[in-house]
Amino acid sequence: MLEIIDLHAEVGGNEILKGLSLTVQPGEVHAIMGPNGSGKSTLTNVLSGRDGYTVTGGTVRFDGQDVTELSPEQRAHAGIFLAFQYPVEIPGVSNMEFLKASLEATRTAQGKEPWDAVTLLREAREACRQVSLDPSFLKRGVNEGFSGGEKKRNEIMQMLMLEPKLALLDETDSGLDIDALQVVAKGVNSLRAADRSIIMVTHYQRLLDYIVPDYVHVLANGRILKSGGKDLALELEQRGYGWLTGEEEASA
């Protein structure tokens, strides 16, 4: 389904991805781990076609189509989504209004009918329930005083409604306490489907106790250095990344 071949990409004039290759089949969950600054967020941003990220070599194929040069809208049409992150508060705009606008744009791009107001509200309430967000959350201002946990639940809630073929989740676990982690994991697990692939960037092995990936990859210095099953994450937790990157092994 997703085939990344020898991908090179630049941000701000620096080459960050340096020959990254990765294949993801439908229904699979792939966890990407790796040291800070290794290019994990760059990878998710490049795959979603975000502005400012320039592909300088290699190809990305998705569903039999070369998507390397497509705009974010065209990728959305193809079913590729990066969880929305909107760090700025937008005064006067409620979460529901934001969701409605995003979904309209997305469904239109996917060639689907936009939902009517009743369906939208029903679906939004159901998605809230799945990630244990009170429906009153929908009336609140976008990011107005959201806690870290609420932001992450919100991202998963949006994904549940967007129904992507490829979901890109970046640091879904950051800033979550153990209860919120379990809720978010449950949401991600309910995203799992035979025709959907998930790429999940995570720093911590503990998330993978709840979302058991099919594959774990170590990204370092812009390339996949090692791939394995879920046990690789346990090994990384014990040994750090030094043994892979050739740097001195950090003491455990």
Q: Which residues bind to ligand ADP, rule: CB under 6 A?
A: 11-12, 14, 16, 34, 36-42, 52
Is residue 44 at the binding interface for Mg ion, with CB under 5 A as the rule?
no
State the nearest-atom distance from the C-beta of 96 to ligand ADP, in Å: 31
**DSSP class per residue in 118-135:** HHHHHHHHHHHHHTT--G
- Pick from 4, 24, 34, 41: which binds Mg ion (CB under 5 A)? 41
Is residue 38 at the binding interface for Mg ion, with CB under 5 A as the rule?
no
Is residue 202 at the binding interface for Mg ion, with CB under 5 A as the rule?
no
Cβ nearer to ligand ADP, comparing 74 with 174: 174
Cβ nearer to ligand ADP, comparing 169 with 183: 169
State the nearest-atom distance from the C-beta of 220 to Mg ion, in Å: 13
State the nearest-atom distance from the C-beta of 140 to ligand ADP, in Å: 29
Q: Which stretch binds Mg ion (CB under 5 A): 38-46, 95-103, 109-117, 161-169?
A: 38-46
State the nearest-atom distance from the C-beta of 134 to Mg ion, in Å: 29
- The residues with which 11 forms a beta bridge, in sequence order, are 14, 53
42 binds, among Mg ion, ligand ADP, none (CB under 5 to 8 A by kind): ligand ADP
- The residues with which 57 forms a beta bridge, in sequence order, are 8
Count Cβ atoms within 10 A of the Cβ of residue 245 and give its class: 0-12 exposed, 13-18 middle, 19 or more buried: middle
Separation of CA 175 from chain center: 16
Phi, psi of 99 (to 5 degrees): -60, -45
Cβ nearer to Mg ion, comparing 127 with 188: 188
In whole angstroms, give the CA distance from residue 136 to residue 126: 12
State the nearest-atom distance from the C-beta of 11 to Mg ion, in Å: 12
Cβ nearer to ligand ADP, comparing 36 with 251: 36
Tokens of residue 121, six digits: 């509200």
The residues near 230 (Cβ < 8 Å, ≥ 6 apart) are 208, 212, 213, 216
Cβ nearer to ligand ADP, comparing 106 with 205: 205
Cβ nearer to Mg ion, comparing 40 with 223: 40
The residues near 138 (Cβ < 8 Å, ≥ 6 apart) are 94, 95, 96, 99, 124, 125, 128
16 binds, among ligand ADP, Mg ion, none (CB under 5 to 8 A by kind): ligand ADP
CA triplet 152, 197, 51: central angle to 5 degrees?
65
Nearest residue to 213 via CA among 188, 245, 239: 188
State the nearest-atom distance from the C-beta of 125 to Mg ion, in Å: 32
Give the interface with Mg ion as residue ranges (CB under 5 A): 40-41
